[in-house]
Amino acid sequence: MRCPTCQAIDFIAADDVRDEARYPRYAVYWREAANLAFDKIRQDQAGYHYYLHQLSFGQLELSKDAGCYFCAALWYAFKEPPVYWNRTAIDSKTADSKELPIVLRLWISSRPEYTTSWRDIPNQEYVHAFCGSYEVEMRRVNTPTRKFSTANCHDTDMLDPFSRFSHELEQLSCEGRLLEEESDTGSSLSIDLARTWYKRCLRKHDACAIKQACQITIPILPTRVIDVKVEGTNPVLYESSQGEHGEYVALSHCWGDTQPIRIERDSVDNENRLRQESTELALPPLAQWPKTFRDAVTVVRKFKLQFLWIDNTGVIQGDKDDWARESEKMAQYFGDATFTIAANWGDNDDQGLFHNRNPLLMRPLRIIAPTREPQYKGFYICVTGPTSDYSLSDDQTPLTSRAWVLQEGLLSRRILGFGQRCISWTCFSTKSASEDNPIGREVEPYKHNPLSSIIPMRIQLRLPDHDMMARQKGRNLYFDSWYLTIEDFTRRNMKFKNDVMPAISGLAQAFAPFMDKGDEYVAGLWRNDLKLGLLWTVDRISPQRRLLPPGRVNFDPSGFTGPSWSWIAHCHKSIELRFSYKVLPGGCHDYLHYDDWVGTEIIKVAIAHRSLEQPYGQVLSGSLRVKARLPTLRIEAEPYELTSTDMQKRSYIAGVVSTTHTRRLTMDRKHFPEVFKDMVGDCDMDDMDDRLWRAHLRRGIVTATFLPLIMYDNDEVPTRLVGLALLPVGGRENEFVRIGRAGVDIESAWDVKNCTLPLTQIVVV
């Protein structure tokens, strides 16, 4: 039901809400609106117009009580403002607030190819509702076209979800049952919409299928999956036979402090085993499971699927070997799952998937606008609800703060996300579909630049056509994508240090087919781009990393996680690793121009893994055998405040770190015969509390060895020589450990070419 005011909405807006002379029939409105607080509404803003919706907040409330669902949505939106407003919600009980008018601000495009009607411009936010100094955003959502609703749908259950769901919404609203029946994200209407997305993807999205030899195949089951059985029975743990095929759903979730369902083979006696020779193991009663697991079982059953895979349930607890084997396969499990359920809003497994919400602040509301165009029947608008924390792509969700989730999200074919406001859907052919925008946005995964920022990396990594590999002057551009992935990964929370390599191993396996033939994955980096890959630096803690409750830590940095030359040794910190196009091959300051002059050669990379069969898994040791000229550095212990000139010199290699990690340095010039003054630079320290650094500190100076890696010209002199600062470690000769990344200013590249230092072989561990 819509009130007469909402039925008459045409958004033929006044240029100024106070323009009483121009719109005399609204004279009483303009007089009442004279006291409107204009701190948020600027009359001189080009492209904005205003339209009076209700004379007062009190009238909005009366219309809501009479059954107008659009007025009700506005009323609830002002009563329940988004959390990011950081302000108090409107109190409709006070006399002042009841007298405030409701004014809609419309955005009118100035681009000539568009009409002056805001509703003709897709994919933008067009309307803001004002009540005094309070503001609510509304946006028009994508509406189905004839091509979408007919050509892409061949039967009734695949028809336009807008028509069906908006009709049910109106029906429930008129009967007063909407808030009761749609009060959480596990409602029947929400799950029905999810099934519609799923069916459409199965029938129409060829890119989302698992293919082998151009034939769609059913994937191999994980080692252990939960057989959800049917409603009213208890699920069991099913151990699949080798190579057994089947469809299953994966769960992406935050463990938190919740105890998982523990399945320890040694503790399973004959009484707990359903039968001695069976491949099924009994599980505790469903009522005793964590709520997120119970809700996931409910979803799988409603999709009429049989198996559910949960990471900490599919692994034998306490068995390190089983964990090592299964963690190596987790990325494959997510990639082969029929779809992944993402528990977006909960920070532990006791909170569940489903969340209470107000459907009026999430469902698209249909507005029938008066128009002279007979084919135009109206549009849909969505009022911003109390929180935007509902999408997997939303950086503010607890789930996306986990490092493990990066590969889970990038490698999953389909993701059904459960947030606080609504559910969402993403696949290789659909983006940004949710309950407040059911159509979402379609993408064409096979027609794009492989490194386009518009196409998500999750789509790029699943392309079957490797001929689309991007290259630039002989260098694979997927190296840069990997470095950006590392930065994203290290900005997230991780609890256990042994999880570092397994948590990114799936992504490394996904990147491998896009790398050059014969390339090798070496402790989080790639062998063919190692000179650049070694130039990572530790940034200050990223503001994107989520704060955890007291008593919990992001990461335990103690113990061995990887060799000092790899970023995995400091992955509990935020890693910076990117390069300006100017310094890359083909750029105006291509570092390869001086590669022979620098003379550094990486002779051998040796990595020992926990298992020889797991080249992407946990690292036990790693060493680099390098041949190079090795000058001496004198690094000052006091922090060095970077100047604007310093910032510009460092702009070719990103990572202007905190000054507490930056030290001034001087390089020994005695082997550079043409140099007559000190060669100065700076060093970004990896760890200022490192015992080795402290042990070498003498009189405020640390004497270190410099391992040069690349050299390039700046737009202005001097030339920049960049490499690693090393300190000797252990009892073996010529064995070093990295303590930071160093850069030195050189007057001329010829100074480096004419260096008289001999080439020396060293090992960096």
For 622-674, what is each residue's pLDDT tens digit?
A: 999 999 999 999 999 888 888 888 887 888 887 666 676 789 999 998 898 88
Task: Give the model's confidence band at 117: pLDDT under 50 very low, under 70 low, under 90 confident, else very high.
Answer: very low
If you average pLDDT over every residue of the chain, what do you get?
A: 76
Highest mean pLDDT among 95-109, 449-463, 474-488, 646-660: 474-488
If one compares 464 and 760, the residue with the highest pLDDT of the two is 760
Query: Which of 137, 658, 129 is CA-nearest to residue 436?
Result: 137
DSSP secondary-structure letter at 519?
-
Per-residue confidence (pLDDT) for residue 484, from 0 to 100: 87
CA atoms of 590 and 578, how far apart (whole Å): 15
- Indicate whether 90 pLDDT > 90: no
As beta bridge partners, residue 212 has 215
pLDDT (tens digit, 9 = 90+) per residue, 227-274?
999 999 999 999 998 889 999 999 999 888 777 776 645 444 444 444
Burial letters for 645-667: b for 16+ Cβ neighbours within 10 Å, e otherwise? ebeebbebbbbbbeeebbbbbbb
pTM value is 0.80
Contact 685, 595 (CB under 8 A): no
pLDDT tier at 389 (50, 70, 90 boundaries)? very low
Tokens 């990325």: give the residue: 331
CA 740 to CA 561: how far, in whole Å?
Answer: 17
- Show the 3-state SS of 347-367: CCCCCCCCCECCHHHCCCEEE
Q: What is the 3-state secondary structure (H, E, C) of 4-46?
A: HHHHCCCCCCECCCCCCCCCHHHHHHHHHHHHCCCCCCCCCCC
Q: HSE of 249 in the Cβ direction (CA atoms, 13 Å)?
A: 26
End-to-end CA distance of the chain: 72
Tell me the per-residue pLDDT of 10-52, one tens digit each, with 9 for 90 and over: 554 444 444 445 445 445 444 444 444 443 444 434 445 667 7
Q: Which helix (H) or strand (E) holds 460?
A: helix 457-460
Instruction: Say yes or no to pLDDT of 118 above 60.
Output: no
Cβ burial, residue 358 (10 Å; 0-12/13-18/19+):
buried
Percent of the chain with pLDDT over 70: 69
Domain boundaries, the chain: 4-140, 211-354+389-468, 471-764
Nearest to 704 by CA among 679, 668, 731: 668
Contact 648, 712 (CB under 8 A): no
Cβ neighbour number for residue 219 with a 10 Å cutoff = 18
- Going by C-alpha positions, the residue among 406, 401, 653, 410 that lies closest to residue 542 is 401
- DSSP strands (E only) in 174-266: 211-212, 215-216, 224-227, 236-239, 248-252
